[in-house]
Amino acid sequence: MAKTNLAQFVREVRQEAAKVTWPSRKETGITTGMVFLMVIVAAIFFMLVDQILAIAIQFLLRVGG
């Protein structure tokens, strides 16, 4: 690999950083809201699955005992 000096490296980093398109404040807010919504949905789903499995295991242990 070819070695580059520090100044060349900094120039290349700045060029690449200029190509980045950052989301708007509105897009960031919508994305954040969707993440929170999906976390809540996943938490409720796993809570329900856990409760169903707990009830099933308690039933099986009562029947066998």
At position 58, the amino acid (one-letter code) is Q
**Domain spans, the chain:** 23-64
One digit per residue, pLDDT tens: the chain, 65 residues?
667 789 899 999 999 999 999 899 999 999 999 999 999 999 999 999 999 999 999 999 998 66
Helices (H), the chain: 6-18, 25-64
pLDDT value of residue 2: 67
pLDDT value of residue 64: 67
State the residue for tokens 């060029």: 15
pTM, 2 dp: 0.65
